[in-house]
Structure 1
Amino acid sequence: MRRRTSLALLNALSLSRLPLAAVFVTTKDPPARVGLVMGAALTDFLDGYIARHKHLESYWGALIDPLADRGFVMVALASFVVEGKLTPTDFGILVVRDVATGLGFVVARVVPQFRPVMFKARMLGKVVTTLQLGALLSVLVAPKLVRPLVAAVGFTALAAVVDYSLAVWRKRARRAPRGPGLPTPTEESRAV
């Protein structure tokens, strides 16, 4: 029962980013918005840290956490587009990784060969998220940094999508059933 309660609290911590996103839309005060971005980043750090260090990772947590992250970031970025602080192109560049990984996840659930593959965060994805948060903050406190950060997110996002795709393909290849007499992936790597 205690594990269930802990998991429920972690999921609630993750989901708290969605009300923060709603508040972000309703307030126009830059310092308050900075606080909301920092609050979202803090909840993201805390739920991940606690889950890893207390061994509380779960299937639902692995789904809820990135959805809550993307929900907050997309709502905040869309608010800036509506307010004229970001262009639609900026928005597209800032969310390209999120859209690509979302589509990839759907494809992986539909294509039977990919279903057993466990999806986990990768370092480049975390870098993209950090740069996205930096871009959000720069809109509020350092507008001259917006364009360089958008460009950095774009390049890093493309690298992250390639990295993630390759990781999924490798995991799929390791799990792929082999016919009789065909070498396993380990035997293949020894043969090369």
Structure 2
Amino acid sequence: MRRRTSLVLLNALSLTRLPLAAVFVVMGDPLARVGLVLAAALTDFLDGWIARHRHLESHWGALIDPIADRGFVMVALLTFLLEGKLTPVEFGILVVRDGATALGFVVARIVPRFRLVEFKARMLGKVVTTLQLGALLAVLVAPVLVRPLVIAVGLMALAAVVDYTVAVWRKRAGPGPRGPHIPTPSGRGAG
């Protein structure tokens, strides 16, 4: 299969999480929702694994993958908030890392020293995403685990934001009007 076709199919696999999110909203059955969360997690794992093992990393894939991830998780969490299955505080803790990451990305695009810094997934961010998916499943099948998972997400999110901030700060452009060229190979990321 040609690289271009493979990339299109891989990005389509990533994008399947957005229709899964729409179905999540209209499906009220907890078991069906469990299946949707597992399907979203599976597509996230598969697209990343395929991209790495077949050397199909791309700029667009690196953009599409986290948008699809965050889209699914945010829609599911917002659905639970509106249905009263999560409190506003729980919701806020579960999405704080995503808000901080989005804010950091915007700031990095505005501040010239950070414009050339490569943005890619880090291990703590992946842990937060995994815990978020665990919290989604807990809401559906084991509500007693929601609060401990929310606390775990909050602590790991704090660690992930600090980790990411330190990593970006270390990679920032050096002195001078444009700074040194920093190569920005793209890769798929989760979290």
TM-score, L = length of structure 2? 0.90
Match of 2:153?
Answer: 153
Match of 2:184?
Answer: none
Aligned pairs (5 A) from 1:17-166: 17-166=17-166
- Unaligned runs of at least 5 residues, structure 1: 180-192
- Unaligned runs of at least 5 residues, structure 2: 178-191
Q: CA RMSD in A?
A: 1.3
Secondary structure, in 3 states, of the residue corresponding to 1:37? helix
Which structure: larger Rg?
1
- What is the CA–CA distance in structure 1 between the aligned matches of 2:161 and 2:139, rounded to whole Å? 25
Q: Percent identity?
A: 80
Moved over 2 A (4+): none
The structural deviation recorded for 1:177 is 3.5
The structural deviation recorded for 1:120 is 1.1
Count of matched residue pairs: 177
- What is the CA–CA distance in structure 1 between the aligned matches of 2:111 and 2:12, rounded to whole Å? 31
- The residue type paired with residue 34 of structure 1 is V
- What is the CA–CA distance in structure 2 between the aligned matches of 1:11 and 1:107, rounded to whole Å? 27
The structural deviation recorded for 1:178 is 6.4
Match of 2:182?
Answer: none
Higher relative contact order (CA 8 A, sep 6+): 2
The structural deviation recorded for 1:110 is 1.7
Match of 2:6?
Answer: 6
The structural deviation recorded for 1:141 is 0.3
Secondary structure, in 3 states, of the residue corresponding to 1:23? helix
- What is the CA–CA distance in structure 2 between the aligned matches of 1:3 and 1:108, rounded to whole Å? 31
TM-score, L = length of structure 1? 0.90
Match of 1:176?
Answer: 174
